[in-house]
Structures are given as structure tokens and as C-alpha cells.
Amino acid sequence: MTRRVLPYRTPSEDVVTADPWLLVIEDGEVAMPEALPDWDYHMDLHLRRTVRVDLDRARVQSGLPTDAALALAVVWTATGSNLGGPANHARLAGGGTITTEFDVLLRGADLGGLLLVDTALVLAERRRDARPSSPRRAGSVLWSDRESLRLQGDAPQFPMALIDFARTSFPDRAAWHLQISGGLDSATMGSLLLLVNERNTVTATAFENAAKPRAIDRLVLSAVYADAARIMIEHALGHDDFTEDADFPDGSLGATLLSLFHQLFAGQSINDIRLRQRNSPSLFASDLQAAVELFEVS
């Protein structure tokens, strides 16, 4: 087991007592589960946690003076959206044991993939008079822990985010953009992200109505699925190691793309489709339209 070694003294783990994160639901509170299989990007997450810190011991064991200002900070990161940021912050002053209640609300539109929630006890202010072995920079971590929650809703086929394209490098009038990053061995939930332009009300509304789509919504969702499938298959074919006998890890991007390929081109070889895509892209595009059954909505 590896352990991170910091260049300064830190207190023992038991100076902080952190209760498990609780997920706030309509009926009350439940322990935060490992995964939310029914999550989608419309679902905001409301989390609560109680943390107790023995300030006197934390300072003494870190070699800090009795007036050193400490703070508790909560930071979140979502692998599906590649977003993150501070969730809550509490400055700790005085002595004795301080109890802090954290109440965090995270927008579903900002999430996706694996949600990581980090809680840390840090030095709140720079100490110019600190000993050589003591923390001195503001933000120096004295204690931390991390809990995770996998968000893998069935409504979207991969992580999604509703954003304003005018604030990005994407064309303002584009309706959506499928972002693919990482290698074929990377986790799918951290490699795919469908960005929907909130300014395109037709597309944004279609996803809002995904559970009970109207006729127009079904057509829009069909177009998005077809375009996403094309981008994913083209991305896969661009990798020479994307072959029938490739052994990609479960949950990896390669495994997801291989499954999609066999779903769309059952009985056909990857090499044949790769050659068709390179030599006759227009025919490949038509084959893909037929495979995804574009606009064949019930």
C-alpha cells in the first residue's frame, strides 16, 4: 500500500472524526450509496455531512502555534463532465473540538461519471513564522478523505452536460458536441461527454422530455444518437489496435466501442468497415444511418 508523504508534519488521523456523507432524498436522508443507477443529468444531488475537529491536537501535532487558523474545505470533481470546484468551506478558530455541518447542493447538469467528494483540513493562512518542519503555506493539507459516487443513469447513454456554447470554443449555433478523450483502455464514464447547447431549445427540450418524449423529441434524439454513434465508430476505427481480438478492460472506452460496433455491424468485420470508411466515406455514412435506424421512431 502506498502512502503520500508530505514535506511537513501532519496530525494523527483521529484528530478528525468525519461522519459518512448522507444523500438527502424526498423521504429524508440515506447513507450515500456507491452508485445511483437511475441518475440522469436533471437530478441534482443534495449531500450532508458532520465533521468534528480537535483543534488543539491538530495544531500541536502539526507543530503550529495555538492561534494558527485552520479550515475545513469540501471539493467535488466529476469525471464525466470534467468539472469540479469548491462545494463548501468553514473557517475554524479557537480551541477544543469544533463540530461543522456541511450541506452541499450539486447541479446535475455539472455532473456525470464518477463523482469524487474530497474533505480536507487545511491551514487557512500563510505562516511566515512556521518551523521548518511545520506547514506554512495557506492550503497546506493536514488531513483529508475522499468518498465517491458513481452516476450512471440509463436515460443518457453516457455522461451529459447542458451548457451555453456561447461561453465555450464551440460554435454558438451548434446543437450538441460529443467529446471523446483518453485511450481505449480509459474508463468509458471518464472518456465520453455529450455537451448539449442550452441555447438550442429544440435539442435541450428533447433531452428534458427524454423520459416521455413527444414526436419531435423522438426525432431530435434519433438524430443525436445517430451522430454520436458515427463519431464513436469513426473514433474507434481510427485506432489500429481496435480489432475483433482486442482484450479491452470491462468498463473501458474500447470495450464500449467494441460492443457498439457489433451492435451496429453484426456479422461484419472491423477491417471491412474500416476500409469502407476510408475508401468510401459516403457509403459508410449511409450504412451507419441504416444501422442506427435513423428517424425510425415509434
Is 252 or 24 the better-scoring residue by pLDDT?
24
Percent of the chain clearing pLDDT 70 (strictly above): 92
Distance in Å from the first CA to the final CA of the chain: 54
Contact 77, 114 (CB under 8 A): no
- Between CA 236 and CA 221 the distance in angstroms is 22
Q: Which CATH class is domain 13-151?
A: mainly beta
Contact 38, 31 (CB under 8 A): no
* Confidence bin at 219 (pLDDT 50/70/90): very high
Q: Is the dihedral of CA 174, 224, 292, 249 positive or negative?
A: positive
**Domain spans of the chain, in order of start:** 13-151, 160-292
Report, as an integer, the average pLDDT of 205-216: 84
pLDDT digits (tens, 9 = 90+) for 33-58: 988 876 766 788 999 999 999 999 99
CB atoms within 10 A of CB 208: 15
Contact 75, 116 (CB under 8 A): no
Report, as an integer, the average pLDDT of 106-111: 83
Residue 79: all three cell numbers together: 469525471
Is 243 or 190 the better-scoring residue by pLDDT?
243
* Confidence bin at 250 (pLDDT 50/70/90): confident
Q: Does position 153 have pLDDT exceeding 60, yes or no?
A: no
Question: What global pTM score does this model have?
Answer: 0.57
E strands in the chain = 16-18, 22-25, 28-31, 35-36, 45-54, 70-78, 83-92, 97-106, 113-123, 141-151, 160-163, 176-180, 192-197
What is the per-residue pLDDT for 236? 96
What is the per-residue pLDDT for 83? 77
Dihedrals φ, ψ of 29, to 5°?
-130, 145
Residue 122 has, within 13 A of its CA and on its CB side, a CA count of 19
Percent of the chain clearing pLDDT 90 (strictly above): 59
- Between CA 78 and CA 45 the distance in angstroms is 12
Average pLDDT, the chain: 88
